[in-house]
Amino acid sequence: MILVTGAAGGPQGATGRRVAELLLARGQEVRAFVRADDERAGELRKLGADVVVGDLREITTVRPAMRGVTRAYFTYPVTAGLLDATAAFAAAAREEGVERVVEVSQLDAQPLAGTPRMRRHWLSEQVFDWAGVGAVHLRAAVFFENLAVAADPGELALPLGPPDTRIPLISGADVAGTGAGLLLEPGPVDPVVPLTGQMATIGEAAAALGLPYTDLPPAEWEARAIGRYGDPYAVEHLTHLWAIFRFIGAGDHPLFRVTGETIRRFCGRRPETIREFGAR
C-alpha cells in the first residue's frame, strides 16, 4: 500500500493527484489522503483509490492513514504548517516501519537559503532523515504552474528585472512522474534528487505562455500579491524567491543545471518544456 498526500491536487502543481493517478494506472494499491470529501475525492475512489480524509498537521488523522503502508508520497502546499505536518507524518511513518517516503522539497533547501520556506524545507528534510523512513527529497525548481498562477490575462508581471533574468523551471507533471518512479523503484535510490526540467529567461517563459513580460517594482508586486494569493506566508516566500532571481539576473548559479537524465530515468521521457505546458 502506498500512501499519497495532496491527492486531491491543488493549484501549485497537483503533484499528489498526478502521483496517485500514475500509481493506480500501474496497478498499485493507493491510499489517497485528502483534506475534504469532495468531488475530487469521489474521482479518486472511481479510479480505485482507498480515500482517507484528514489534516496532515493532525496526528490523530495521519496515524490511522499510515496503517499497512510500506511507501509514501508527502507534499504540503506553500502555506503555514509544513513543520507540524512533517513531524506528524515522519512519526507515523517511523512507527509503521515505512521503508520509503518521497517528499517534495525545493531546489535550494539548506539552512541559509534565501527564503524562510526553503529553510523550513531543509528542516523538514532533516526530520524525515532522523525518522529513518528511507526519505527521498525531491528538490524541485520553480513549477511552470507557479508562473501560470502569477499571470494576469494579458501579461506576466513579476519583479524579476530585465527579460533576460534566468529561472530554473519544471512541470508539476515531471515532479510527479519522478516521484512515482522513485516510489516504484525496488532498489536503493539517492536520498537527494535535484529536479530542473528547463532553464529559461523570464522573457522566454512568458512568451511560451503566450504573454508579454512586464518587470514590476518589488514593492508593487508585493502589494498586488496579497490580493492574489490571500496568504501572507505564500507572499513572503515568493517575494524573497523573485528577489533572488532578480539579483542573479542573466548570471549563472551552481543550482542552475537541467537534470534531464533523472527525469528521463523515472518518467521514461525527456522533461516537458514550458512551451509544451503553455500549449496544453
Ligand X SMILES: NC(=O)c1ccc[n+]([C@@H]2O[C@H](COP(=O)([O-])OP(=O)(O)OC[C@H]3O[C@@H](n4cnc5c(N)ncnc54)[C@H](OP(=O)(O)O)[C@@H]3O)[C@@H](O)[C@H]2O)c1
Binding residues for ligand X (CB under 6 A): 6, 8-16, 35-36, 55-57, 75-78, 81, 104, 106, 140, 142-143, 146, 172
Closest separation between CB of residue 6 and ligand X, Å?
3
- Cα–Cα distance, 133 to 254 (Å, whole number): 29
Contact in structure between 5 and 72 (CB atoms under 8 Å) = yes
Nearest to ligand X by Cβ — which residue? 10
Closest separation between CB of residue 24 and ligand X, Å?
16
Q: Are strands 142-143 and 135-140 parallel, antiparallel or unpaired?
A: unpaired
**Using CB atoms within 10 A of its CB, is residue 31 exposed (0-12), middle (13-18) or buried (19+)?**
buried
Q: Which three cell numbers stand for residue 141?
A: 525548481
Nearer to ligand X, 140 or 183 (CB): 140
Closest separation between CB of residue 236 and ligand X, Å?
13
Nearer to ligand X, 77 or 177 (CB): 77
- Alpha-carbon radius of gyration of the chain: 18
Nearer to ligand X, 90 or 142 (CB): 142
- Cα–Cα distance, 103 to 87 (Å, whole number): 13
**Using CB atoms within 10 A of its CB, is residue 53 exposed (0-12), middle (13-18) or buried (19+)?**
middle
Closest separation between CB of residue 17 and ligand X, Å?
7
Nearer to ligand X, 147 or 157 (CB): 147
Closest separation between CB of residue 187 and ligand X, Å?
26
Nearer to ligand X, 169 or 216 (CB): 169
